Structure 1
Amino acid sequence: MNKLKIILVDDQPILLEGLKSLITTCEDMEVIACAHDGQEAIDLARKYQPDVILMDIRMPKMNGVEATKMIKSELNQITVIILTTFEDDEYIIDALRYGASGYLLKDMGIHQLAQSIRDGVKGNLLLPIRIASKLTAHMIHSPSRVSSFKEEYTPREKEMIQLLVQGCTNQEIADRLFLSIGTVKNYLSQIYAKAQVTDRANAIIYFKHNGF
């Protein structure tokens, strides 16, 4: 079995060790390194190129949002999942904008956390209900995004949007619609432009809010 290689990032050693102990109980996961701040996370990501990074938000030297931005711009194949106790709208939006695959809270159980990691690697959006409601509220009060929904979407784009909000990955969308991955990516770029969003996470929330 190929294990998911994970880097943990948190500035509190006790929490870091506790999280490491929990994850090592999962047969399909392996913690290969731990970082205590955003800059160290970037250095370890470059060195080990893990499958997943579980990233805390508030840390010295560089916070988790900035570290996520740097890592995703350089090593986009890495799945970065924000794991924190904070629920600030600002952090949620910025982390997703910079490429995080989701935003999870530290109080979730190991089974839920493990499944969320697996889902994140598959390309699914990870947002607990209480966080998703905050993000939806933010988008409701964003006039440019709401008004942009008046633009027409083609029948093919609507099919793709339906699959997108169901959590399908690009490969799954391609398989269901009998399209190439490249064609799917081109369609998604057009869809994002019409919705005035820049990434998958914000697109899913936007379209769910608008009835898809």
Structure 2
Amino acid sequence: MIQVLIADDQTLMRDGLKTILELEPDIAVTGLAADGEEACAICDTRKPDVVLMDIRMPVMDGVAATAAIKKRHPSIAVLVLTTFDDDESIVQALKNGAIGYLLKDIEADRLIQTVRDAAQGQFTWPAMLAAKLTKHLCANVPALSGRLAALTGRERDVANLLAGGYTNRRIAQMLYLSEGTVKNHVSSIYSKLGIYDRTAAALALRRALDK
């Protein structure tokens, strides 16, 4: 069962998301929060698998709450959900550890699937936002075309999954490796590519590998 926390300052939005998610047999809403501080407190006690986090909330906004939750509970997947197509907030939330970013006009079926993907450790970058993220996060990233050749075969396997937005834990499961081995491969990939931010690396690799 996927345990989900919904953090949004609008009661109608919280209740609506709860209704949609709880129609699914494999998803349960474990808590509702009206601001970032409340979301952090619920995460401390209930440790949900996934948090749906609004960006603009009183007391503590979703960007700051994401950073606090990921610092204390790295295994919790945070999905930023907002009505604002705000470049700066997108970048900061991802840098703070969010596993994905969704706009609130997303269709219910897509929302449910994204929650399931997040619980499995898969990043979500909507196509409409990918170009903006790449522009902001990869502005100072070196060209990768020549650097990819320096990767070993196993590093290339890891890089492909990293580009797909998977976490180290999920990559380890998919490649039948230990999480520590995957972490070492990722560190080597960073060194060879000259990129040390996971989100920037994933976006840059996706762009380079698609060519």
TM-score, length-scaled by structure 2 = 0.88
Query: What is the letter of the counterpart of residue 195 of structure 2?
Result: Q
List gaps (5 residues or longer) in structure 1.
none
Structure 2: distance between partners of 1:45 and 1:176: 28
**Would you say 1:154 and 2:151 are equivalent positions?**
yes
Q: What displacement does 1:114 show?
A: 0.6
Alpha-carbon RMSD:
2.1
Q: What displacement does 1:102 show?
A: 0.4
**Would you say 1:92 and 2:90 are equivalent positions?**
yes
Q: Name the CA shift for 1:23/1:206 in 2 (closer, same or farther; >3 Å).
A: same
Query: What is the letter of the counterpart of residue 116 of structure 1?
Result: T
Q: What displacement does 1:60 show?
A: 0.7
SS of the aligned residue for 2:142 comes to helix
List per-residue Cα deviations over 1:75-101 (Å, max 9, x = no partner). 111111111111111111111111111
8 Å CA contact retained: 1:82, 1:103:
yes
The aligned runs of 1:2-151 (5 Å cut-off) are 3-140=1-138, 142-143=139-140, 145-147=141-143, 151=147
**Would you say 1:165 and 2:195 are equivalent positions?**
no
TM-score, length-scaled by structure 1 = 0.88
Q: What displacement does 1:116 show?
A: 0.5
8 Å CA contact retained: 1:11, 1:37:
yes
Q: Name the CA shift for 1:64/1:172 in 2 (closer, same or farther; >3 Å).
A: closer
Structure 1: distance between partners of 2:78 and 2:19: 20
Q: What displacement does 1:171 show?
A: 5.2
SS of the aligned residue for 1:73 comes to helix
Q: Name the CA shift for 1:24/1:96 in 2 (closer, same or farther; >3 Å).
A: same
Q: Name the CA shift for 1:178/1:20 in 2 (closer, same or farther; >3 Å).
A: closer
Structure 2: distance between partners of 1:48 and 1:175: 25
Match of 1:198 in 2: 197
What is the count of residue pairs matched by the alignment? Answer: 207
Q: What displacement does 1:105 show?
A: 1.2
Structure 1: distance between partners of 2:40 and 2:17: 20
8 Å CA contact retained: 2:81, 2:103:
yes
8 Å CA contact retained: 2:6, 2:52:
yes
Query: What is the letter of the counterpart of residue 154 of structure 1?
Result: L
8 Å CA contact retained: 2:121, 2:170:
no
SS of the aligned residue for 2:6 comes to strand
Q: What displacement does 1:162 show?
A: 2.1
Q: What displacement does 1:178 show?
A: 5.3
Q: What displacement does 1:46 show?
A: 0.4
Structure 1: distance between partners of 2:146 and 2:137: 15
Query: What is the letter of the counterpart of residue 197 of structure 2?
Result: T
